[in-house]
Amino acid sequence: MDKEARVAGGGSSNGMGWWVHWLSPHHYAKICPNVENIVREAVRKKFQQTFVTAPATIRLFFHDCFVHGCDGSILVASRGKNRAEKDHPDNLSLAGDGFDTVMKAKEAVDAVPQCKNNVSCADILALATRDVIALAGGPSYVVELGRYDGLVSKASNVNGRLPQPHFNLNQLNSLFASNGLTQTEMIALSGAHTLGFSHCNKFANRVYNFSPHNATDPTLDQKYASDLKSMCPKDVDPRIAIDMDPTTPRTFDHVYYKNLQQGKGLFTSDQVLFTDHRSKPAVNAFASSSHVFHQNFVAAITKLGRVGIKNAKNGNIRPDCALLD
């Protein structure tokens, strides 16, 4: 194994402070030297089958890292008496294509005898996330590797650890800070909402019953609010999905921030980034420069990937990503 870089890591996802981790882009250089190409090809095939692969995989990575760290615990299936993370109400809307992307990539890696059972599910998810971002037109970047898979996946661990659509800036900052991430990093990572979709019930209050004085959230662009009402009538099927980015929903770009400037953030937690004076300058900076956004996003998602990582003492490499043993 190549000598690995010693890098100061992000905070733990359970508030236990900071640590040093041993991740390196070269972790698999002698264990499974072609791992990145194998994963990239498997992800490309899946992406060609359905675009949902991109937002689904990115969201899976975020939901994994925010609950006790980037350890692949989101991939585990409930079994026996154990109700796993993926079955928590906040995770039920995770699209199956994200899980399938990781499983397909894992199968491809394990088809190589030298690599079989030597590459963690957590690392495959981190690589797949980078690959879908690039396939959707976003930046490619170096992924640090060497994570082990977590030994625990409990739905109860998810409580209070994921950002909610109604969050204000203080709530967002507090949650991201618990993972060692700054306000600017939070705003950059929110740019992942340039892809993907949400269901009507996640934002219906903004267009139908916002407050006693305003049925519609006054920070919403009026035409956008009208469009949302058309797509999400009051008695709509809750499975109806709406694009997070109404302008370029299939491209990973900085238009998300331009949308916020125009009152077209789908969630309260999106629009507040522009309406709150503390976060507005970063939104304006990212809206004005694709390069600045990409630079900040790559730095932030790299830091996110260091949260709560496991090693050989408190993790393992799962032969099956869905099974703890």
75 in Cβ contact with 61 (< 8 Å): no
Cα 321 from Cα 311, distance rounded (Å) = 16
Cα 114 from Cα 31, distance rounded (Å) = 7
Q: Average model confidence (pLDDT) for the chain?
A: 93
Q: Give pLDDT, residue 120.
A: 98
Is 270 annotated in some ligand binding site?
no
Residues 6+ apart with CB under 8 A from 169: 183, 272, 273, 276, 278, 279
User: Helical H runs in 111-221?
Assistant: 121-135, 169-177, 183-190, 204-208
Q: Give pLDDT, residue 21.
A: 61
**What are the residue ranges spanned by the domains of the chain?**
34-162+305-316, 169-304
**What is the model's pTM?**
0.93
Residues 6+ apart with CB under 8 A from 63: 74, 85, 90, 91, 94, 162
Is 163 annotated in some ligand binding site?
yes
Mean pLDDT of 290-309: 97
Burial of 277 (0-12, 13-18, 19+ CB in 10 A): exposed
Is 193 annotated in some ligand binding site?
yes
**Catalytic residue, candidates 27, 63, 68, 254:** 63
Q: Give pLDDT, residue 238.
A: 76
Mean pLDDT of 308-316: 95
With bands split at pLDDT 50, 70 and 90, how would you rate the model's confidence at 10? very low
Helical (H) or strand (E) element with 197: strand 197-199
Q: Give pLDDT, residue 5.
A: 33
Is 245 annotated in some ligand binding site?
yes
Residue 147: C-alpha distances to residues 67, 303, 309 (Å): 15, 13, 6
Is 107 annotated in some ligand binding site?
no
Q: Give pLDDT, residue 235.
A: 87
Domain 34-162+305-316 class?
A: mainly alpha
Q: Give pLDDT, residue 252.
A: 98
Residue 91: C-alpha distances to residues 86, 154, 157, 164 (Å): 5, 12, 12, 12
Q: Active-site residue 26, yes or no?
A: no
Q: Give pLDDT, residue 239.
A: 79
Mean pLDDT of 108-128: 98
- Please check the confidence at residue 8 and state whether its pLDDT lies above 50: no
- Please check the confidence at residue 19 and state whether its pLDDT lies above 80: no
CATH superfamily, domain at 169-304: Peroxidase, domain 2 (1.10.420.10)
Of 188 and 16, which is predicted with more confidence? 188
Is 279 annotated in some ligand binding site?
no
Is 69 annotated in some ligand binding site?
yes
pLDDT one-digit tens code per residue, 46-77: 999 999 999 999 999 999 999 999 999 999 99
Q: Give pLDDT, residue 272.
A: 98
| Percent share of the chain, pLDDT over 90 | 90
Of 15 and 267, which is predicted with more confidence? 267
Q: Give pLDDT, residue 123.
A: 98
Q: Is the dihedral of CA 141, 28, 8, 69 positive or negative?
A: positive
The answer to which of 154-158, 236-240, 259-263, 279-283 has the lowest mean pLDDT is: 236-240
With bands split at pLDDT 50, 70 and 90, how would you rate the model's confidence at 325? confident
pLDDT one-digit tens code per residue, 249-293: 999 999 999 999 999 999 999 999 999 999 999 999 999 999 999
